[in-house]
A and B are shown apart, each in its own frame.
Chain A
Amino acid sequence: MNGGAEYLREQRRWHWAEIVFWLLVPAAWFVFPGYLVLGTQILIAALFALSLDLVMGYAGIVTLGHAAFFGIGAYTAGKLGQQGWTEPLSGLFIAAAAAAFIAALTARLVCRGNDLSRLMITLGLGMLLYEVANKAASLTGGLDGMLDIVIAPLFGTFEFDMWGRTAYVYSAVCLFLGFLLARHLVRQPFGLALHAVRLNPLRSGAIGIDNTRALSRIYILSAAMAGVAGGLLAQTNQFVAIDVLSFQRSADVATMLIIGGLGQLYGGLVGATGFLVAQDSLAAVNPVYWQFWLGLVLILVVLFVRGGVVAVVRRMAQRLGRRMQRRQP
C-alpha cells in the first residue's frame, strides 16, 4: 500500500477559505490605511492567541499565565531597544529565546501533575513575574512602563512610521510564518502525539509516547511564539506597559481563543479580530460595561457555542454543502 504519501498530501492541502482569509490580511492594508495601528494590535494578539491554542487547544494544558511569556518577550525586546540594540529582527529572535528559556526551566513543573496544579503553577508563575517586574522598577520601569525604546528601520530601509505601515507588514509576516509553523506541526507525528496525549494520556503512554516530553516541547515552542508576539508589541509600540504580564492579559487571550474556538488554528485569529474590534469600539465608552459584557460573552460561549466561532462556521458550511449536494439532480 502506498497511499500514505497521498493521504498526507490530502491533509496538507489548503482549503480555499484559508486562502481567502490570508488574502484579507494584505487587503486590509490597502482598504483601511487609517486603522493600521489597530490592525497591528490584532495581528500581534492573533499570534499570541495562536501560541495559546498550541498549548491549550492541542496539548490540553490549561494555563492562565501565558502572558508571562508574552511579557518576557516584550520586556526583552524593549530592553534591547532601550540599551542600543536596535536591530528589530535579531531583537525579536532574542525575545523568543528568552521566553523559551524560562519555559524550559518551568516545563517540568507545568507538564507534570494534574490540571489543578498546572492551573495553579501557571497562574502563580504569571503573578510572580508581574511582581518581579513591579519591584525591579529600575530594570523594567515598574508601573510606569519601559520607555525610550528605539528600534532601527527594518532591513535598514523601512522605518517604523506613525501610521503603522511598516509595523503592520512586519507583524503580518511574523504571524503568517508562525501560522505556517503551527499548521505544519499539527499535521506531523508530533501533532498526532499531542492530540493523543490530550485525548488519553494513559493510552499514549501505552504506545510508548513520553507524555511529559511531548508537552514540554510544545510548551517551550508556544512560549517562544508568545515571546515573539510580545517582542512585536514592544518594537512596534516602542513602549512596554506592565500589563503585558497581567492576569487580565492572560484571561483576554484565553477569551479570544475560546470565542474563536480551540484546536482549530484559526480560532485564535478569528477570536483576536473580533475581540479587539469590539474592544476598540466599546471599551472606550465605558470600561466597566466592557468587563461585564466580556464576562457574559465568555459564559455564553462556554455554555452554548461548542468549539467556538470557527467550529460553528465549519458545521454550517458542512450542512450547506450537504444541502446543495442533495439539490443537484
Chain B
Amino acid sequence: MLINGIAVLLDGFAYGALLFLMSVGLSITLGLMGFVNLAHMAIAMLGGYALISGMSMLGWSFFPALLLAIVLTSLFGVVLERGLFRFVYGAPPLAQVLLTVGALFMIAAAATYIWGPGLQAVTIPEFLQGRLRIGPFGFSRYRLFLLVVGLAVLVLLQLGMVRTRFGAMVRASVDDQDVARSLGIPVDRVFMGAFAVGSALAALGGALSVQAMGLDTSFGLKYLVLALLIVVLGGAGSIMGTFLSSMLIGIVIIAGAYYVPAMGAFIIYLVMIVVLTLRPTGLRSVRRRHP
C-alpha cells in the first residue's frame, strides 16, 4: 500500500513536472502582457513532433534531437509572436482568444497533414528505460528523469529571474509595464525573449511527454485546459506558483486515475471549479492590475 502510494506520488510529481514545463511559458506571457495564448499547448505539441521527426527523419539520437526540437520550436514561437500575436496585444480579450484559437486550429491541421492523426511514439535512450532500485522501492527511471529536469528548470528560472538583468527586466515589466517602459526597459524585446524561453520550455515539455503521455494532433487542445487551469491557480506571472499548482494538479490527476478511475477527467474540473470559487485570483497572483 505504501509502495503503491509512493509510486503514485512519484508519478504525480513527474506528471506535474511535465505540466510545469509546458505551462510556465503561458504563465509568463499572461503575467507579462496579459496575453491569453490559447495556442501555447500547440507549440508544446510541435516540440514533440519535432523530436520525433529529428529522430526518425534525421536519424539523430534522443538528446541531440531534443535540443534541435527545442531550438526549432522556440524559433517558431518567436516568429508566431512577432508575425501574428503582437497585433492583438492591446485588443480586448475576446480578440486574443479567437486569434490564438485560430492559430491553434491551423497548427493542429498542419500537424495532421504532415504527420497524420495517429498516435506517435518515441524510443528513449537505454539508461532512461526501466526501473531504478533503491532499497525495497523501484522507481521508473524516466519518471525520475522528468522530475530532475523539472526541478532543474525551476531552479534555473528562479535564478534567472532573480540574478540576471533580463530577469530583472521581466519582473519590472510584469509589475508595471508603463513604468518599466518609462525607465527605458525595452518591454517589447523583453516580451519576445520571454516568449522564446516559454516556447522552448513548452517544446521541452512536449517532447518529453511523448514517452509519458503519447502524442497525437489533439494534444494542443486536450492539455490546453489543464495548462490554463494551472496558470490561473498558480497565479499568472509567478514561476513558483506555476510549479506548485502543476505539482498539485499532477498528483490529483494521477491519484484520481489510480484510486478513483471511474471519475476520469471529471475530478480535475471539479477541483478547478472549487478552487476558482474560493479564490478567483488563484493561489499566488503576481501581476498587479492597474487601479
Contact = CB atoms under 8 A, between A and B. Distances in A.
B280 interface: yes
Interface stretch (A111-119, A158-166, A212-220): A111-119
Most A CB within 10 A of own CB, among B95, B109, B262, B276: B109
Contacts of A72: none
B5 to A, nearest CB: 25
Nearest to A56: B94
Nearest to A120: B232
A123 B98 contact: no
Interface stretch (B49-57, B174-182, B263-271): B263-271
Given A120-B228, A124-B272, A124-B273, A299 B108 contact: no
B269 A298 contact: no
B264 A135 contact: yes
Contacts of B75: none
Contact of A302 (B99, B266, B272, B277): B99
Contact of A121 (B30, B107, B276): B276
A303 B87 contact: yes
Nearest to A135: B264
Contacts of B228: 119-120, 123
Contacts of A303: 87-88, 99
B70 interface: no
A119 B96 CA distance: 12
Most B CB within 10 A of own CB, among A109, A114, A292: A292
Interface in A242-268: 247, 251, 254-255, 258, 262
Contacts of A113: 276, 280
A127 interface: yes
A246 to B, nearest CB: 10
Contact of B102 (A64, A247, A289, A296): A296
B104 interface: yes
A255 B263 CA distance: 32
A298 B276 contact: no
A294 interface: yes
A70 B18 CA distance: 34
A241 to B, nearest CB: 17
A131 interface: yes
A280 B194 CA distance: 42
A131 B110 CA distance: 27
Interface string B248-275: 0000000000000011111001101100
* Chief secondary structure at chain B's binding surface: helix
Contact of A123 (B113, B225, B236, B264): B225
Interface size class of A (residues with CB under 8 A): 35 or more
Most A CB within 10 A of own CB, among B101, B272, B289: B101
A128 interface: yes
Interface in A290-310: 291-292, 294-299, 301-303
Given A127-B225, A296-B102, A298-B105, A109 B269 contact: no
A298 B105 CA distance: 9
A219 B158 CA distance: 42
Given A116-B30, A298-B105, A302-B88, A255 B272 contact: no
Interface in B38-92: 84, 87-88, 91
Interface residues of B, number: 44
A132 interface: yes
A154 interface: no
A311 interface: no
Given A62-B93, A295-B103, A131 B264 contact: yes
A109 B276 contact: yes
Contacts of A254: 98, 101
Nearest to B88: A302
A114 B282 CA distance: 11
B232 A117 contact: yes
A120 B229 contact: yes
A295 B102 CA distance: 4
B41 to A, nearest CB: 13
A288 interface: yes
A125 interface: yes
Contacts of B101: 64, 251, 254, 295, 298
B221 interface: yes
Contacts of A114: 280, 289
Nearest to B30: A116
B266 A64 contact: no
B123 interface: no
B97 interface: yes
Contact of A128 (B84, B93, B270): B270
A294 B105 CA distance: 7
Given A127-B269, A135-B262, A299 B102 contact: yes
Contacts of B129: none
Given A117-B232, A288-B112, A299 B276 contact: no
Contacts of B280: 112-114, 117
B36 interface: yes
Contact of B221 (A116, A125, A247, A262): A247
Given A121-B276, A294-B102, 13 more contacts: A113-B280, A119-B97, A128-B270, A134-B264, A251-B105, A254-B101, A292-B105, A292-B109, A295-B105, A295-B106, A297-B102, A298-B102, A299-B106
Question: Which 8 A-B pairs rank lowest in CB-CB distance, beginning with the nearest?
Answer: A295-B105, A298-B102, A292-B109, A295-B106, A128-B269, A299-B102, A291-B109, A113-B280
17 contacts: A116-B30, A120-B228, A121-B273, A124-B225, A124-B276, A127-B225, A127-B265, A135-B266, A288-B109, A291-B108, A295-B101, A297-B102, A298-B98, A298-B101, A298-B102, A299-B99, A302-B95
